[in-house]
Chain A
Amino acid sequence: MNAGKHDNTATTVPAAGPHRLEVRDLHAHYGRVCALRGVSFETTCGRAVALVGGNGAGKTTLMKAIVGLLPGTEGEVRWQGRAVHHSIPEIAYLPQRQDLDWRFPITVRALVEMGCYAHLGLLRGMRLADHAAVDSAIESMQLGALADRQIGALSGGQQQRAFIARALAQEAHVLLLDEPFAGLDHPSCETLGKLLGKLTRQGRLVIASHHDLGNVDRLFDEVLLLNRRLIAFGSPAEVLQAAALKEAFGA
């Protein structure tokens, strides 16, 4: 964890400009099983990208490979033109809700404060600016009234937003979300969709695995269709065509 500068403007990010994520010829293996083969794409900040594909298509694998969680990965990930070899705070990965321990004794505020750890290093205490960054991250995810609640006492959508707030406190520019809309009721989906839209308008890049083809075009700017390799990448209208979907889902 690097000690670094921490400004209190967690909700304002410089406009897109050169903020570009490039993935080149990414391969990933689990033992002898090939989970991803030669995935290449590039996108810029200020967009929301949906990863669409069936079970085992490699959506989670792709996100984990981008943040450097998988040891057997080949290929290259470039962020702002520089190759990424280690995990960096600018790129945050948010695990699926079911993979997290919601009984953990922590409040929303303490969870969001964990996002500051990357900047604080091992021992530096939270300063006013850090508290302000945490407050603004919580406010921007509309969790102000719930800040002192234990995370297990939140609804699914609120839990997702709490984790996004943690990524904002981490000053992440790229948010990789694993099935953020899964299991949410309609109003929660709408709220989360709007908040994600706000993040992209601030210049962040949101990449999320998604399974509901009915609302992809409303929630996302680009779709990446995946079936262990990249089937198609582009605007929802271009990608979600019968032939490509058939190839992706094998139906």
Chain B
Amino acid sequence: MSIWQQLFDYGFSQRALLAAGLIGFVNGYLGGYIVLKRSALFAGGLTHTLFPGIALGALVAGLNPYSALFGAVGMALLAGLGSTGIASVSRIDRDTALAILYTAAFGAGLIALERIGTYVNIENYLFGNILGVGNTDLWFVYVAGGVTMTLLILLQRPLLLYVFSADAAASQGVPVQWLGHGLAALLVVNMVISLQAVGAILTLGLLIAPAAILYLFSNSVRVILWGGGVLGAGVSVLCVVLSVATDVQTGPAIAGVFGLIFLLAFLASPVYGLAALVLKRYQMRS
């Protein structure tokens, strides 16, 4: 049986392709704002709260899609809002506060995991299992992805003002605090719908890499946002095909391929890559 037959004749692989494309697009687009705001570290901290959230949810209500969903969302919101709150009333900055909160949560998650002893099943949430996406999961993706894209497109102008300079944006009447919280909330929602595709840990790569790659080439925000979406969708779909053909896991494949593309972009970009630097040196000498 050819790969193409395997891909299109079975429901599970059709669902996987659809989910990968949608999740990849939304992540790549949303990631543009995270890269522009230089919040990758904050986003990385949040991804580390998903797993302990799932573990604690499983301890309370058993491991199922709903306990995983509410556990992950709850823990990420708690850590995100908690660290933002701590930073706003004390001299501790947000990244420092989040680092402590998420490691504490991770510790609690590991202890919870030992109590429930279902490591094998939780692995799907850690590293993703897109070939196991069900119809319910797909509905989550439709709704969350649709809401996210609608909001991001509707609020594109104030968001752009905000990520460029919060002070200047506020002086133009943009409600920067609400935008900041809103962006963090969308981030959490998208990390959770990405769990199925790439898992709790690897979701950061799918979020950050597409925009970071385009950032090495383009001086247009539109290219970085929409291009990030297209790149995210393309690589994700490609990796589903790859994993059906070669039996490699999809999540790790996505993270790995993005790492490779980023490295190539960094080396070869004639605008902001190593190649540009070498070229400039060479031109100066001659």
Instruction: Name A's B-contacting residues (CB within 8 A).
Output: 1-2, 64, 67-69, 86-89, 91-95, 99-101, 104-107, 110, 114, 117-118, 120, 122-123, 150, 170
Contacts and interface: CB of A to CB of B under 8 A. Distances in A.
B173 A89 contact: yes
27 contacts: A1-B158, A2-B173, A64-B171, A67-B170, A67-B171, A69-B170, A69-B171, A88-B173, A95-B165, A95-B167, A99-B167, A101-B38, A101-B165, A104-B164, A105-B36, A105-B215, A106-B164, A107-B219, A114-B157, A114-B164, A118-B173, A120-B157, A122-B154, A122-B158, A123-B154, A150-B219, A170-B172
Contacts of B242: none
A105 B219 CA distance: 4
B99 to A, nearest CB: 23
B172 A1 contact: yes
B168 interface: yes
Contact of A87 (B164, B173, B224): B173
Interface of B: 36, 38, 154-158, 160-161, 164-165, 167-168, 170-174, 215, 218-221, 224
A122 B155 contact: yes
A17 B157 CA distance: 34
Contacts of B219: 105-107, 150
Contacts of B38: 101
Contacts of A95: 165, 167-168
Contacts of B224: 105
Give the top 7 A-B pairs by smallest Cβ distance, nearest first.
A93-B171, A67-B171, A87-B173, A117-B157, A150-B219, A105-B219, A95-B167
Contacts of A69: 167, 170-171
A170 B173 CA distance: 12
B174 A1 contact: yes
Contact of A93 (B167, B174, B215, B220): B167
A117 B158 contact: yes
Nearest to B220: A105
A92 B171 contact: yes
A64 B168 CA distance: 10
A79 to B, nearest CB: 13
Contacts of A118: 172-173
B218 A105 contact: yes
A110 B157 CA distance: 12
Contacts of A87: 170-173
A1 to B, nearest CB: 6
A84 to B, nearest CB: 11
A99 B157 contact: no
Given A105-B221, A105-B224, A114 B171 contact: no
